[in-house]
Amino acid sequence: METLEAKTAGLFDLEPNDCGGQAVDSAACGAGLKKRGRPRAYDPDQVLEQALEVFWQKGFAATSLDDLVEATGVNRPSLYAGFGDKEALYIKAMAFYQNRLRAQLDGILTCNGQGDTVRAIIDRYFDILIRAYTGEADHPLGCAFMCTALTDAPQHESILDMLQRTIENFDRRFEDFFTAAQTWRCLPAEADPRVLTQMVSGLTQNLLVRARAGAGRAELTGIARKTTEFLFPDIRPTSN
């Protein structure tokens, strides 16, 4: 099965001009431009951001190509040429969203025995998610990917594939984190990293559903804090 990386590969590989208008022979430069085509007149990141907002609000099935054209300001032929059909654009917009979150999470999901507690680290994880779930919208939208993918995944293989990989990556990331926390004695030796991962996953899904239903940032943070206090003892790391 084609990987998510393969699906999104080449997204930002815009074709350069042969000579960038700097050739001595202007006719040759013009020929190169004709062969390569005109450079795209849009920012791919901005298009993905705008498409993401539409999918986030309306879902995959209810979003039309007209909606995407209106939101991005890019006509249909250019959208198809740059991003593929609606399903391909959805996959790329969700990968863009997930990569942005991943960049934030990579900086906090570490336990290296430098004085942090597991509870404090997990609390920061939920702070990032809650900010993403609530955003600046009048009505919180929850997780852009999970709230839209669950409905349409059974009918679309590429969305189902991305959903499965997202869950697998989540489990792997947190099991590794909790295993490392045990190495640094931030967690009891009898704790099960896989079970703790499923508990964090369950709370993550709980919060995204509540956000989608209208819960605000303060309410979601309160739920997260009370749950992590129950799940994770306040153990300070010690050296081996």
Burial tier of 23 (Cβ tally within 10 Å: 0-12, 13-18, 19+): middle
* pLDDT score recorded for residue 115: 67
CATH topology of domain 43-92: Arc Repressor Mutant, subunit A (1.10.10)
Two tokens at 141?
A: 């939208």
What is the C-alpha separation between 212 and 217, in angstroms, rounded? 12
Same fold, 43-92 and 107-233: no
Where exactly are the structural domains of the chain? Answer: 43-92, 107-233
pTM (2 d.p.): 0.76
CATH topology of domain 107-233: Tetracycline Repressor; domain 2 (1.10.357)
* pLDDT score recorded for residue 29: 39
* pLDDT score recorded for residue 89: 97
Handedness of CA 21, 26, 32, 34 (dihedral sign): positive
Query: In terms of Cα–Cα distance, which of 234, 231, 222, 235 is closest to 202?
Result: 231
DSSP letter string over 82-139?
HH-SHHHHHHHHHHHHHHHHHHHHHTT----SSS--HHHHHHHHHHHHHHHHHTTSSS
* pLDDT score recorded for residue 138: 56
* pLDDT score recorded for residue 13: 34
* pLDDT score recorded for residue 12: 31
Kindly give the parts of the chain with pLDDT less than 70: 1-40, 112-115, 136-140, 235-240
CA distances from 69 to 63, 66, 77, 197, 226 (A): 11, 5, 10, 40, 44
